[in-house]
């Protein structure tokens, strides 16, 4: 009887230990530091991506950073990528052999709530709307989703974490392609066997680790799991003003933690950005906050904008990129010389007396230093009153902007 009792205790102990092992996170090994990786496949970045963490491919070409910004290391066909490829394969096999406890079908989201456990689908799966992971206040609660096919989100789909859920404890095993549509927000570590596409302004909090398949990225934000962003940006829009003389930028945040300020950055090609202004943030807020900024000097044709969101400790994160088209004027205007010393000449292709044009000069701080109206086809004015330095100019006709640029006074 005592022997049987001891055996029962031992079996109970072993069973409990097995349950504990099954509930443990998989061992990522050397793949732990990677946020985007493929063992076999090309790696391409085509937009202004912002990635924090290591990236790489063990067998394939790598094109990226630039474009985009990488805060981490790039590993291509070296010892580190070779070991990562092995470890990614082991992790995928581990997740694939976990016992499924709940079959949830192939449609996920639309307010669906998942509690800790191992979930599986019967084929290719989509995520639409909001998916909620609820840890039920269980420490290190583990979520595993086994998808027997491709996985794709819809545009603007998102994942929310409640009651202690952590993106570091969410694992997706995807037996096929993996696609995040434009402006979707994904959380967790995805182990994938097919090609990966991160489209538009999709955000990834976690990792995507691929056994074999190409990776294509756009203007995405990628951060490691459980990185607390100082600002939760819920909207960012740009548009022309009513009379099309400036660009209006507007954005909203749902919460801010130790936020310092927003640096507004602009580009004419979507790749090389320059700061054009700054607005102080709320600091700490759990309510909706709205911000507006005006760009008084839009470029002809395409204008790209992004926000650089700064925390009080100096850390920062880029927003997704927005674009607005500024109509190109049909009036040909040439302003010379540049740099200039004592005078500036403006030459137009209009008829004398029918131009009704205006030239405004601004210092970099936005102060207007000259405001001149002219109608001549060739107009020259003296600049002796201007101190050496850089100036912005705006030329308008009938209050419609036709040319902007920068001049330098010697």
Write out the DSSP string of 47-69: S--EEESEEEEEES-EE-SSSSE
Residue 4, pLDDT score: 36
- Residue pair 392/295 in contact (Cβ under 8 Å)? The answer is no
Residue 385, pLDDT score: 87
Half-sphere exposure at residue 378, Cβ-oriented, CA atoms within 13 angstroms: 1
DSSP-derived letter for residue 280 is E
Same domain, 314 and 241: yes
Residue 330, pLDDT score: 64
Q: Which residues are paired to 192 by β-bridges?
A: 174, 210
Same domain, 313 and 343: no
Is residue 156 one of the residues assigned to a domain?
A: yes
Same domain, 154 and 278: no
Say how many domains are in the chain: 3
Same domain, 293 and 151: no
Among 326, 351, 377, identify where a domain stops.
326
Residue 69 structural domain: 24-223
Same domain, 309 and 356: no
The pTM for the full model equals 0.59
Residue 270, pLDDT score: 72
Cis peptide bond upstream of 110, omega within 30? no
Q: Which residues are paired to 389 by β-bridges?
A: 409
Tokens 């102990």 label which residue?
13
Is residue 261 one of the residues assigned to a domain?
A: yes
Write out the DSSP string of 211-264: SS--EEE-S-EEE-TT---SEEEEEEEEEE-TTSSSEEEEEEEEEESSEEEEEE
Among 303, 326, 349, identify where a domain stops.
326
pLDDT in tens, the chain (410 residues): 443 333 333 333 333 333 333 458 898 988 988 999 999 999 999 988 989 889 999 999 999 998 888 988 999 999 999 999 999 999 999 999 999 999 999 999 999 999 999 999 989 999 999 999 999 999 889 999 999 999 999 998 999 888 889 899 999 999 999 999 998 999 999 999 999 999 988 999 999 999 999 999 999 989 888 665 667 777 788 988 877 678 999 998 877 888 899 999 998 877 778 899 999 998 888 788 899 999 987 877 788 888 988 888 887 777 777 888 877 666 778 899 999 988 999 888 765 545 678 888 888 777 888 888 888 888 898 988 889 999 988 888 777 777 878 899 98
Q: What does the buried/exposed string (b/e) look like for 324-335 if buried means 16 or more CB atoms within 10 Å of the residue's CB? A: bebeeeeeebeb
Residue 139, pLDDT score: 83
CA distances 128 to 106, 109, 185, Å, are 11, 5, 11
Is residue 383 one of the residues assigned to a domain?
A: yes
Residue 143, pLDDT score: 97
Same domain, 218 and 345: no
3-state SS of 335-391 is EECCCECCEEEEEECCCCCCCCEEEEEECCCCCEEEEEEECCCEEEEECCCCCCEEE
Same domain, 66 and 162: yes
Is residue 391 one of the residues assigned to a domain?
A: yes
Same domain, 185 and 261: no
Same domain, 210 and 287: no
Same domain, 340 and 356: yes
- Residue pair 108/134 in contact (Cβ under 8 Å)? The answer is no
Residue 297, pLDDT score: 79
Is residue 8 one of the residues assigned to a domain?
A: no
Query: In angstroms, rounded to a whole number, what is the distance separating the alpha carbons of residues 166 and 360?
Result: 54
Residue 377, pLDDT score: 84
Is residue 191 one of the residues assigned to a domain?
A: yes
Same domain, 399 and 365: yes
Is residue 14 one of the residues assigned to a domain?
A: no
Same domain, 257 and 218: no
Identify the CATH number of the domain in which residue 249 sits: 2.60.40.10
Q: Quick one: CA torsion of 9, 10, 12, 18, rounded to 10 degrees?
A: 160
Is residue 9 one of the residues assigned to a domain?
A: no
- What stretches of 118-229 show up as alpha helix (H) in DSSP? none
Residue 26, pLDDT score: 92
Among 223, 250, 278, identify where a domain stops.
223
């Amino acid at each position: 009887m005592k022997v049987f009792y001891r055996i029962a205790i031992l079996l109970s102990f072993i069973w409990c230990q097995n349950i504990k092992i099954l509930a443990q996170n998989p061992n990522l090994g050397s793949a732990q530091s990677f946020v985007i990786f493929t063992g076999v496949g090309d790696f391409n970045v085509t937009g202004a991506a912002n990635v924090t963490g290591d990236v790489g491919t063990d067998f394939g070409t790598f094109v990226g950073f630039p474009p985009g910004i990488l805060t981490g290391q790039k590993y291509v066909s070296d010892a580190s990528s070779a070991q990562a490829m092995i470890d990614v394969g082991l992790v995928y096999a581990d997740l694939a052999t976990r016992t499924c406890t709940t079959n949830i079908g192939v449609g996920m989201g639309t307010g669906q709530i998942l509690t800790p456990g191992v979930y599986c689908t019967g084929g290719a799966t989509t995520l639409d709307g909001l998916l909620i992971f609820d840890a039920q206040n269980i420490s290190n609660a583990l979520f595993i989703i086994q998808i027997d096919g491709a996985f794709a989100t819809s545009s603007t789909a998102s994942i929310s974490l409640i009651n202690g859920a952590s993106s570091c404890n969410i694992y997706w095993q995807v037996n096929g392609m993996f696609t995040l549509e434009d402006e979707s927000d994904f959380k967790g570590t995805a182990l994938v066997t097919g090609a990966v596409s991160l489209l538009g302004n999709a955000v990834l909090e976690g990792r995507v680790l691929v056994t074999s398949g190409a990776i294509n990225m756009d203007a995405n934000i990628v951060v490691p799991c459980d990185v607390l962003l100082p600002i939760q940006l819920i909207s960012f829009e740009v548009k022309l003003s009513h009379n099309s003389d400036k660009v209006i930028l507007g954005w909203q945040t749902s919460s801010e933690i130790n936020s310092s300020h927003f640096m507004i950055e602009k580009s004419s090609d979507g790749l090389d950005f320059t700061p054009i202004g700054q607005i102080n943030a709320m600091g700490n807020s759990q309510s909706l906050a709205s911000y507006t900024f005006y760009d008084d000097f839009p470029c002809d044709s395409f204008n790209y904008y992004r926000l650089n969101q700064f925390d009080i400790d100096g850390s920062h994160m880029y927003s997704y990129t927005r674009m607005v088209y500024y109509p190109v004027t049909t009036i040909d205007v040439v302003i010379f010389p540049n740099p200039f010393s004592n005078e500036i000449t403006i030459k137009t292709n209009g008829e004398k007396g029918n131009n009704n044009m205006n030239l405004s000069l601004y210092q970099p701080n936005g102060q207007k230093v000259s405001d001149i109206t002219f109608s001549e086809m060739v107009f020259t004015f003296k600049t002796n009153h201007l101190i050496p330095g850089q100036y912005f100019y705006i030329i308008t006709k009938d209050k419609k902007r036709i040319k902007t640029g920068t001049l330098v006074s010697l």
